[in-house]
Amino acid sequence: MSDKEIRVRFAPSPTGYLHIGGLRTALYNYLFAKNKKGKFILRIEDTDRNRYVEGAVENLISTLNWAGLQADEGPKYGGDYGPYLQSERLDIYNEHIKKLIDDGKSYYCFCTQERLTELREKQKKETIQTKYDKHCLKFSKEEIDNKLNNNIPFVIRLNVEPNKKILFNDIIRGEVTFNSDTIDDQILIKSDGFPTYHFANVVDDHLMKITHVIRGEEWISSTPKHVLLYDYFNWERPQFAHLPLLLNSDKSKLSKRQGDVAVEDYMQKGYLKNALINFIALLGWNAGDDKEYYTLDELTNAFSLEGVNKSGAVFNLEKLNWLNAEHLRNISNDEILIMLKDEISKSKYSNFNGTDEYLLLIIEAMKERVSFVKEYIEKCPYFFEPPSEYDEKVMKKRWKEDSPDLLKIFSQRIEQLVSPTKEGYERILKKLCEEKEIGLGRLIHPLRLALSGVGIGPGIFDLIFILGTEESLKRIDKALNQIK
């Protein structure tokens, strides 16, 4: 591996579903790596055993793969810097924590929960920052050994030196400064022997040769602790980039209370992966122009961390829906056919036995009128079954006294067509309207109602051509008997 190879990682916890914010973090890491011809690594941070959800790792991987963000290294993929599950790296963390203890950079803490609660309450009353008071730092080696030999429960804490300025550069936010007095002696190893996120993440990022840590804004306050660990180990720091928050329309933090936040929810609702990725990419980044439609390859070529904004990005569902429609129109009819057949198999028309040619005609006729594949069924069920009722409003407005006679004459004439075409149907309709000295709408509107039961849809000649003469005649006859 070249020293200059860019290596980034996405490191989610397997706590259930993949959050839409997590997908954006993964996407920006992926785009940055691919733009720089680097590596995108997936690491699973599963050291919080209380929050671990069975099957979540497999779900995370399949969701990322669905989105087109396949890792170069990680669980299921392998790589030179594994294991990529933190729960399989405990020996590595134990080896590194020992070095910190030996150097006085971390220490054993034997405080009970009761003492910690009392300390916190006391600090709250005195309106001072709640943080650990280094009580256990005063124990001698003999006292520590004695407590360990007696199996007294402990955690291991970071020894933060007081009143030190901690500086780091953020690619998105510039120079960030903290005073060490505001930083708690963070727990590095928990009482169950597992490392905390803060410790494991720094050790892993160093050993996996991560060059850039790209993550959400909520991690900025933790970064000084990570910087201290890099410095205590005398390791080179990676470059940091903290992404803006995702916001609801009211500018509150994106949450499940106001809408779907799981990627799986959007998958189930029929959003195309290309549209979702396009939309997520624009939540906090732009290439410095007004371009809004992107493929994944175009995003890869255009992406840079310098194009990421500092301010929060509003999640606009209308824009996502618009992008979904745009991407759907740019997919070939043959690809849509595969997706449509899958939707039909899950719908009440699962026994539908129409030909591929029939479905392709529907796709072509409805392409400009749908935003989702499922709308090829929902917006035009009349292609899959005859109408059982007729829209009341349309009947009152469009069904005139002469409608039955016009439809009867039209039926008789199309029945005579030997090789029906759209143009043939159009000629017959126009000629009939000329003879009767009426506008085309006088016949088109009741004809549409008879064929579909509704007042909107594709062009009338597309509609009649797709249904065919025989089916159209049946439907006109049924409408003449039912509509009074």
Residue written as token pair 């849809």:
457
CA distance 242 to 244: 7
Catalytic: 474?
no
465 touches 421 (CB < 8 A): yes
Give CB contacts under 8 A, 24+ apart, made by 270-273: 270/343, 270/372, 270/373, 270/374, 271/320, 271/324, 271/372, 272/324, 272/327, 272/328, 272/331, 273/66, 273/67, 273/68
CA distance 462 to 367: 12
Choosing from 256, 269, 346, 397, the catalytic residue is: 256
The residues annotated with a catalytic role in the active site are: 256
